[in-house]
Amino acid sequence: MKKIILSTTVLALLLFTGCGSAPTIDETQENATDANAQDANANNSETIASDETVIDENSNANADSNEMTMSGLEGKMQTVTFEFDKFKVQANQVEKVEANVELAQGDANTYMIKLEGNCDEWGSDEYNYALGLKRAKTIKQTMISKGVNASRITMVSYGESNPTCTDKSESCWSNNRRVDFKLLP
Amino acid sequence: MKLLFTFLLSITFLFAADATLEINKKIDAYSSFGVEDSSTQRSDLSKKFYRSLVADINVLSLFNVDKHYFTSDFDSNSINVENKKLNYVLKFDLISNDNQSLLIKIKLMELGEVRLDKSYKISKSKMYVFVAHAIASDINDHFGAPSVDWMKGKIILSRLTKPGNSQILVTDYSLTYQHVIINGGLNVFPKWANKEQSAFYFTALDTLRPTLFKVDVRSGNKTKVVDSDGMMICSDVNSDGSKLLLTMAPDDQPDIYLYDVNSQTKERLTSYSGIDVSGQFMEDETIAFVSNRLGYPNIFSKKIGSSAVEQLVYYGKSNASCSAHNEYIVYKARESSNAFSRNTFNLHLISTKTDFIRRLTATGLNEFPRFSHDGDAILFIKNYKQQSSIGIIRLKHNKNFLFPLRVGKIQSMDW
C-alpha cells in the first residue's frame, strides 16, 4: 500500500530591488509581494517564488500466503535475453519461453502475467523504452500463439532503469537486455 | 567602453543568426571581469556565493573572468588593487539574517564608477545560487546581450538511485541546489507543465500500467492524467500548456498522441507498425519525432492532421532522440554501434531551412537534448567515465559547460 506524505513548504521568494533598498516580503502572500515590489518604486524589481512539495512513495508490502505461492511460481519463470538493439527471440531462448508458457498454463493459470521489457545502459531516451516494449510484445505474441489468453498478459517497459547488474561488462549488458516474467493476482 | 562592447556583441550575434553555423573566430579579446567578496562578514557561504557568481559570469560567455578570490570594502567605491587592471569588477555584500534569509547587494564597477547597483533578498539561504543566477542574468541584460532567462529557471530531473528506484528532483541549472520532490518508486520522464513551472508531469512505472501523473508544486496535489499498457510518456508540452505530445502503446504499439489538457481527449498522430516516439512541437502545427521506419531510429516530421511524413535527418547511423525549437532540431546520433565496446553518442544541430549540420559534442555519451524556451541554449545529459552530468551548450557562443551530479545517474530532465 502506498504511503504518501505531503508537506508543502514555501522554499524561496526572491525580491530584486533598486539600489539601496530591499523591501520586506510577506512570504505567505505572493500577490502582496508583487505589490510591495511595485510600491518600492525600484528601478529593477522582480519577484521569483518557488513552492515545493515532498512526496514519499516508498511502499510497505505485506505478503500473505497467496502472495508467497505466487512468488514461488514467479521464481520459476525464466528471464529471456535479447541481442544488442534487437527484439527478435533468439533460438537459444525459445526453450525458456516455452517453459514459461507451460507454467503459465499450468500451476500459474490463475494469475495475470506481467512482461517487463528491459534494455542495457546505452541510452535513456524514449526509444530505449520502446525497444524494451517491443521485446515484451514479441514474447506476448509468442505466448498467445501457444494458447495463453491475451487478456491475462500486461506489459511494461523499464528501459534502462531496472538493470540486474551495473558492471561495465559484456555479460552484464547482455543480461540487462531481457524480458522478465512477473505474476499478478 | 560599454558602447564599444555592445557594438562588438551586435556584430557577433549578427553573424551568428543561423545557429547551425559554427562560430570559430569571435571577438579576439573579451573584456576582463572580476568578482570581489565585499561582505562585512565573510564566511563559507560568501565564498560559495563567490564561486557560483564567477561560474555564472563565465557561462555568460561575454568576458574573460578572473577566478582569483579578492576582497574589498563594499561601502567605498574602491576595488582591490589586484583587480585594478580589469575592465569590470563586481562587488557583492552578502548579509545573513538569523531567520535564514539573505540580503545581497551588488555594485558593478567600471573605471571607478558604479554602473549597476542593486539589492536582492532571498528567504532561504540554501537557495543562494538562484540569486547568483539572477545577478548574472541582470549583468547580461545590462550589456545588452540576448536574454539568458533560462539561468533563473528550475530544472526537473529523474535520478536513478538503484535498479528500479528513482527520485525526482528540482534543481538549478548548475545542480548546486537540489531538492528531492518525489522520493521512492520508479518515476521517470518528469516534464514541466507550464512556463511558470508551477506543476509538472511524470510517468510512474511501478503502477499496474504506466501512468502519467500531474503534480501541482504549490499544493502538492498529485492527479492521474492518463495511463496506457506498455508505455506512457509525456514527450512535450506546447507553449501555453494546453496540449501534450504523449508516447503511448494502448495496442502494444508505441505511437504518438496529441492530448488536450482541457477536454482530456487524445488524438492518435502516428500509426506506424514499428516504433514512433519522442514527439516534439515545432512551428506551423508540425511535430518532429523519432521513428524506426527506415529500419533504424531517425528523426522525422509530420503536420498534425496529415498522413505525410518527412525525413529530417540524413546524417547518423542511429538518431534516437531530439528536441525542436522553431526551425531548429537538435538530435542524438550514435557514432559507433557495438554491443561490447564503448559507444559514443554526439549531439548535432540542423535547421529545416538550410542543409548545414553542426556537431555540438565530441566525446562520451551525450543524450536527452532539450532547447531552452528561447532557443538560446541546449541542456543535455552527459555520461562519461562513470559520471553523470548536466551539460549546457551556448549555441551562439560555441561553448559547452558541464555540471556533474554527485550521486546517481540522470535518467531524464526538463527545464
List phi, psi (to 5°) of A117: -85, 140
Mean pLDDT, chain A, whole residue set: 72
Give CATH superfamily name and number for B153-414: TolB, C-terminal domain (2.120.10.30)
Name the maximum alpha-carbon separation found in chain A.
80
User: Between A49 and A91, where is the model more confident?
Assistant: A91
Q: Which sequence spans correspond to the domains of chain B?
A: 30-149, 153-414
Up-side HSE of residue A108: CA atoms within 13 Å toward CB?
30
Give the residue among B284, B231, B285 at the shortest CA–CA distance from B258. Answer: B285
Look at residue B74 in the predicted model and tell me its pLDDT: 93
* pTM, two decimal places: 0.82
Burial label for B349, CB within 10 Å (0-12, 13-18, 19+), is buried
Look at residue B405 in the predicted model and tell me its pLDDT: 87
The shortest C-alpha distance from B328 to chain A (Å) reads 19
Look at residue B263 in the predicted model and tell me its pLDDT: 97
The three state secondary structure string of chain A is CECCCEEEEEEEEEEEECCCCCCCCCCCCHHHHHHHHHHCCCCCCEEEEEEEEEEECCECCCCCHHHHHHHHHHHHCCCEECCCCCCCCCHHHHHHHHHHHHHHHCCCCCCEEEEEECCCCCCCCHHHHHHHHHHHHHHHHHHHHCCCCHHHEEEEECCCCCCCCCCCCHHHHHHHCEEEEEEEC
Q: Is B224 on the interface with A (CB under 8 A)?
A: no
**Which residues of chain B lie closer than 8 angstroms to A159, CB-CB?**
188
The shortest C-alpha distance from B156 to chain A (Å) reads 12
Are the Cβ atoms of A16 and B138 closer than 8 angstroms? yes
C-alpha cell at B123: 528567504
How far, in Å, CA of B354 to CA of B198, rounded?
37
Q: In percent, how much of chain A has pLDDT > 70?
A: 62
Residue B404, Cβ neighbours under 10 Å: how many? 11
For residue B401, give the H/E element and its range: strand B399-405
Question: Nearest chain B Cα to A7, which residue?
Answer: B220
Q: Among A52, A59, A124, whose Cβ lies nearest the Cβ of B412?
A: A124
Look at residue B342 in the predicted model and tell me its pLDDT: 61
* Strand arrangement, sheet containing A112-117: A80-81, A178-184, A112-117, A153-157
Interface of B with A in 153-192 (CB under 8 A): 154, 160, 163-164, 166, 170, 179-189
Q: Among B217, B249, B321, whose Cβ lies nearest the Cβ of A125?
A: B321
**Which residues of chain A lie closer than 8 angstroms to B124, CB-CB?**
11-12
Look at residue A68 in the predicted model and tell me its pLDDT: 64
Are the Cβ atoms of B119 and A19 closer than 8 angstroms? yes
Distances (CA, A) of A94 to A82, A91, A138, A154: 11, 6, 12, 20
CATH (residue range B30-149): 3.40.50.10070
Q: In which band, very low, low, confident or very high, does the pLDDT at A30 lie, cut at 50, 70 and 90?
A: very low
The shortest C-alpha distance from A179 to chain B (Å) reads 13
Question: Nearest chain B Cα to A30, which residue?
Answer: B218
How far, in Å, CA of A182 to CA of B205, rounded?
14
Residue B296, Cβ neighbours under 10 Å: how many? 15
- A127 contacts B298 by C-beta, under 8 angstroms: no
How far, in Å, CA of B228 to CA of B212, rounded?
9
Residue A9, Cβ neighbours under 10 Å: how many? 13
Q: Is B57 helix (H, G, I), strand (E, B) or coil?
A: helix
Mutate to test the interface with B, among A5, A57, A160, A171 (most CBs of B within 10 A): A57
Mutate to test the interface with A, among B95, B116, B119 (most CBs of A within 10 A): B119
- A134 contacts B278 by C-beta, under 8 angstroms: no
**Which residues of chain B lie closer than 8 angstroms to A155, CB-CB?**
229-230, 249, 252
Burial label for B14, CB within 10 Å (0-12, 13-18, 19+), is exposed
Give the residue among A153, A127, A13, A34 at the shortest CA–CA distance from B254. Answer: A127
A166 pLDDT above the threshold of 90: no
Sequential pLDDT tens for chain B (415 residues): 555 555 545 544 444 455 665 544 454 578 999 999 999 988 999 999 999 999 999 999 999 999 999 999 999 888 888 888 999 999 999 999 887 899 999 999 998 899 999 999 998 899 999 999 999 999 999 999 999 999 999 999 999 999 999 999 999 999 999 999 999 899 999 999 999 999 999 999 988 889 999 999 888 889 999 999 899 999 999 999 999 999 999 989 999 999 999 999 999 999 999 999 999 999 889 999 999 999 889 999 999 999 999 999 988 878 989 998 988 999 999 876 554 456 688 999 999 888 888 999 988 889 899 999 888 899 999 987 778 899 999 998 888 999 988 888 889 999 9
**Which residues of chain A lie closer than 8 angstroms to B411, CB-CB?**
124, 161
Are the Cβ atoms of B130 and A154 closer than 8 angstroms? no
Interface of B with A in 31-70 (CB under 8 A): none
Are the Cβ atoms of B339 and A173 closer than 8 angstroms? yes
**Which residues of chain B lie closer than 8 angstroms to A127, CB-CB?**
275, 277-278, 290, 292, 297, 320-321
Residues written for chain B: 415
Q: Is A151 on the interface with B (CB under 8 A)?
A: no
Are the Cβ atoms of A127 and B210 closer than 8 angstroms? no
Are the Cβ atoms of A130 and B343 closer than 8 angstroms? no
Q: Is A13 on the interface with B (CB under 8 A)?
A: yes
Residue with grid cell 532539450, as numbered in its chain: B370
Look at residue B397 in the predicted model and tell me its pLDDT: 86
Distances (CA, A) of A159 to A14, A85, A119, A173, B271: 39, 12, 5, 13, 22
Look at residue B317 in the predicted model and tell me its pLDDT: 76
The shortest C-alpha distance from B275 to chain A (Å) reads 7
Q: Which sequence spans correspond to the domains of chain A?
A: 6-55, 65-184
C-alpha cell at A84: 544488442
Look at residue B370 in the predicted model and tell me its pLDDT: 93
Q: Is A9 on the interface with B (CB under 8 A)?
A: no
How far, in Å, CA of B257 to CA of B268, rounded?
4
Look at residue B220 in the predicted model and tell me its pLDDT: 83
Q: Is B120 on the interface with A (CB under 8 A)?
A: yes
Are the Cβ atoms of B134 and A16 closer than 8 angstroms? yes
How far, in Å, CA of B26 to CA of B44, rounded?
37
Look at residue B99 in the predicted model and tell me its pLDDT: 78
Look at residue B412 in the predicted model and tell me its pLDDT: 92
List phi, psi (to 5°) of B27: -55, 125
Are the Cβ atoms of B339 and A16 closer than 8 angstroms? no
Are the Cβ atoms of B166 and A161 closer than 8 angstroms? yes
- B334 contacts B320 by C-beta, under 8 angstroms: yes
Residue with grid cell 512505472, as numbered in its chain: B205
Q: Is B40 helix (H, G, I), strand (E, B) or coil?
A: coil
Look at residue B225 in the predicted model and tell me its pLDDT: 97
A111 pLDDT above the threshold of 70: yes
Look at residue B179 in the predicted model and tell me its pLDDT: 92
Give the residue among B58, B6, B59 at the shortest CA–CA distance from B32. Answer: B58
How far, in Å, CA of B310 to CA of B73, rounded?
62
The shortest C-alpha distance from A10 to chain B (Å) reads 8
Find out if CATH 3.30.1330.60 is the number for domain A65-184.
yes
